Structure 1
Amino acid sequence: MNMNPFVIALLGYLLLASPGYAASLLITNGTVFIGDDAPSSQLDILIKDGLIEAVAGDLSAAPADQVIDAKGRPVTPALFAGITAAGLSEIGMVYEAVDSRLNELFTGLMHPEFDVRKAYNPLSSVIPVTRIEGYGYSLLMAVSGDRTISGQGSLVSFDGGFDSFDGKTAVYINVDGYSGNKMGGSRAAHWMLLEAIFDELTVDDEDLRLISPAGKAALRTLRRDGLFVFHANRASDILQVLAFSRQHELDAIISGGQEAWIVRDALAESETPVVINALNNLPGSFDGLGARLDNAALLHESGVTLLFTSGETHNARKLRQVAGNAVANGLPYEVAMAAMTSLPAEIFGGRPRMIAPGLRADVVIWSGDPLNVTSAADRVIIDGKLDPMTSRQTELLKRYLPTDPGLGRAYINP
């Protein structure tokens, strides 16, 4: 199809003139946390064609299509939103809007080949709601259903892409007491079944009883190249995970970890990362009787690699509060910032998530301290583009809280 040269020129002008697009963008006078555990520095950041071109003390002379003066405000990489089902769960009580779990599947088998990435919807309203709060990526999870092995996921970027997955494939395994009740009434059944499943990796396909041939192939690949995310809170369950992972040579990660501080020396020795909600200080079940607010600080002091998750998808933006409470209870600030920015990408095998030359420009300018609940994301830049800072929530706000007196009474704020 031939297109009029005038139309081509007009489209190019409109693209360049749109508020979210700038071929080059300069952020000046920022208090920049580059994403590791180093203190902040006063730096300028030059972004070109979606990548960070330069980071230095003074880039004011550098040509740029757009300049944003941070005026000393904090600047960070886009944050990690924790382990979520963003893009998989729209409304929990509406069955066609939830694609994050296997439940009552007719086969009766374990399905480690179940991959939630095939159902990921980047147009979900959850994505922009989370993104405009300063979050750029998440670990996409297969939610616990009625199987010990929930399924596969990986890192995903909140850039609106249909194939924005990154890093190693992770398989999710639940070994807590709640899920044990669904597997014969005891958490011991988890380990009985897991041992039997791993034994089936060496048998012929026609002799498989607990997994399918596709599941066998997937588990072999995961064992070689993937990550095993075990959900466990009780100290004894965590030790069981460590023993099982050592026996089967698995690259394991603990999710939950309310009693991880009790076995922190064993976690440090095995170099097993732990993903916790640092707000857990009261037992929500008998699995977390030992929950305490300084869990994060104790784990860090013992040399355990630490990440955060809120345990929520629709309120993943509250994760800053989780990290802030960990700092308030003894975790060093810079360690918390690394756990919210670059460290999750490193642990889960993704691309680097830092503010450094040559890396993708996913950057946030904050109104104040990113770990303070009174602060907010002022500007969000994903893939070098300024986010319009709109979501379903902001659009509903504009619709139902207008100031135009010409609208009907239902649209007027009383």
Structure 2
Amino acid sequence: MIFIKNGKVFTMTGEVIENGSILIKDGKILEVGKDLVAPLDAEVIDAEGRMVLPGFIDAHCHLGMWEEGIGFEGSDGNEMVDPVTPHLRAIDGINPMDISFKEAYMGGVTTAVTGPGSANVIGGMFVALKTYGRRIDDMIIKEPVAMKIAFGENPKRVYESQKKSPITRMATAAILRESLFKAKNYLEKKELANEDPSKMPEYDMKMEALAKVLNREIPLKAHAHRADDIFTALRIAKEFDVDITLDHCTEGHLIADYLAEEGKGAIVGPTLSNRSKFELKNLTFDTPKILGEAGVKVAITTDSPVIPLQYLPICAGLAHKSGLDEMEALKAITINAAEIVGIDDRVGSIEIGKDADIVIFDSNPIKDIDCKTYMTIINGEIVYKN
């Protein structure tokens, strides 16, 4: 058991507990509050007034898919020979021993939602995992957690060079629709085979993967920067009655009223980067504030390795500097991120029964540039201490 005392505990459920305590047992949060008594057999950590937060969460990144300091040999995020690869699983391409994982949890990021890049119209399945461990199978929170799809410039650029479709936004949308229609037809044939086994279609790994989307087991995870691409993503999701998250959402501030009506969460970023392509011309740290004020639930992403994962709190801090409320900025990298991707039953807040992913900071990580991580706890285990 671990007992944290004398901390300023930000539960992210609306409560900030001065001189608060947290009791951790068997990797879970057992108690949270004031005036708790440490069990005799507990390891006691005196936070000494430090800021205590749930571990940070990046709701969209590519951690471990592109290894640090390696070129082709460590590049495993895009299978750029087929625009439709829903059957690919991120867990088969991640190296958890890459140094980026250690840097992430040293910076307070304990959960990463990571997966394929945006080269393909359908890229494959994302995973939500802890940033500490040696074996992916032991680090998983939820797998699969989403199906990556991409709109805009990236698929066009990749396949124009190969002289194959898609080279237009029309073709990107058409290929996605065609794939979802095929998967729907595949499921209908399987349903008929319940009565007549002779009608069972031949096993199709791609269709089986997309079936998880059509059955609403996982959402589409839509790479969409420009406003028109965001609307196309929403249009297709409605056509097939599937769930969707809006990732990057660079021009979300231009259509905040519409997005509020849609009721979908926005995962915004990476914003701490240059305008490397035309669809980023409206890039601004104002986006989270404007979306939040319109009533859109906002998470903030580094899109690691575009921005290293340990700088997630800096990204939240810059959004706060641009007008996003301080507590909302913290929510954007904790509970909001967890809720948008559907893992809030495990992580995102300091609540009884949730995973004991706790970070203690010497000062405020989104306001103080020299803030240091004092301690990181993942699954009830101290994995880093400054």
Which interval holds the TM-score relative to the shorter structure?
0.7 to 0.9
Aligned to 1:233: 225
User: What's the offset of the Cα at 1:362?
Assistant: 1.0
CA distance in 2, matches of 1:318, 1:386: 21
Aligned to 1:364: 359
Residue 188 of structure 1: which of 170, 175, 187 is its match? Answer: 170
Q: Does 1:25 align with 2:2?
A: yes
Aligned to 2:263: 271
Aligned to 1:220: 211
Q: Does 1:326 align with 2:319?
A: yes
Q: TM-score, structure 2 length as denominator?
A: 0.86
Aligned to 1:138: 112
Deviation track 1:113-136 (CA, whole Å, cap 9, x = no partner) reads: 111112333222221121111111
Deviation track 1:71-97 (CA, whole Å, cap 9, x = no partner) reads: 111000111134222233224643232
Residues 281, 293 of structure 1: 8 Å contact kept: no
Instruction: Give matches, 1:79-118, under 5 Å.
Output: 79-91=56-68, 93-104=70-81, 108=82, 110-118=84-92
Q: Does 1:156 align with 2:129?
A: yes
Q: Does 1:382 align with 2:378?
A: yes
User: What's the offset of the Cα at 1:25?
Assistant: 1.7
CA distance in 1, matches of 2:375, 2:123: 36
Aligned to 2:300: 308
Label 1:64 to 1:179 Cα distance change in 2 as closer, same or farther (>3 A): same
User: What's the offset of the Cα at 1:332?
Assistant: 1.4
CA distance in 2, matches of 1:67, 1:202: 55
User: What's the offset of the Cα at 1:342?
Assistant: 2.2
Q: What SS does structure 2 have at the residue aligned with 1:292?
A: coil
Residue 330 of structure 2: which of 330, 333, 337 is its match? Answer: 337
Gaps of 5+ in 1: 1-23, 391-414
User: What's the offset of the Cα at 1:169?
Assistant: 2.5
Aligned to 2:194: none
State the percentage of identical aligned residues.
25
Label 1:119 to 1:75 Cα distance change in 2 as closer, same or farther (>3 A): same
User: What's the offset of the Cα at 1:195?
Assistant: 1.9
CA distance in 2, matches of 1:39, 1:302: 25
More displaced 10-residue stretch of structure 1: 132-141 or 284-293: 284-293
CA distance in 1, matches of 2:61, 2:326: 24
Aligned to 1:65: 42
Q: Does 1:290 align with 2:277?
A: no
CA distance in 2, matches of 1:310, 1:113: 25
Matched to 1:304, the amino acid is V
User: What's the offset of the Cα at 1:56?
Assistant: 1.8
Q: How many residues align?
A: 358
Deviation track 1:26-54 (CA, whole Å, cap 9, x = no partner) reads: 21110111123444543111222322221
CA distance in 1, matches of 2:57, 2:318: 16
CA distance in 2, matches of 1:64, 1:34: 25
Aligned to 2:341: 348
User: What's the offset of the Cα at 1:60?
Assistant: 4.5
Matched to 1:172, the amino acid is K
Q: What SS does structure 1 have at the residue aligned with 2:147?
A: strand
Q: What SS does structure 2 have at the residue aligned with 1:359?
A: coil
User: What's the offset of the Cα at 1:247?
Assistant: 1.1
CA distance in 2, matches of 1:283, 1:88: 23
Residues 29, 356 of structure 2: 8 Å contact kept: yes
User: What's the offset of the Cα at 1:232?
Assistant: 0.9
Q: TM-score, structure 1 length as denominator?
A: 0.80
Label 1:266 to 1:355 Cα distance change in 2 as closer, same or farther (>3 A): same
CA distance in 1, matches of 2:66, 2:27: 29
Residue 234 of structure 2: which of 232, 242, 246 is its match? Answer: 242
Residues 84, 121 of structure 2: 8 Å contact kept: yes
Residue 43 of structure 1: which of 11, 20, 42 is its match? Answer: 20
Matched to 1:335, the amino acid is E
Label 1:220 to 1:92 Cα distance change in 2 as closer, same or farther (>3 A): farther
Matched to 1:386, the amino acid is I
Matched to 2:150, the amino acid is N
Residues 320, 326 of structure 2: 8 Å contact kept: yes
Q: Does 1:171 align with 2:147?
A: yes
User: What's the offset of the Cα at 1:64?
Assistant: 4.2
CA distance in 1, matches of 2:47, 2:325: 25
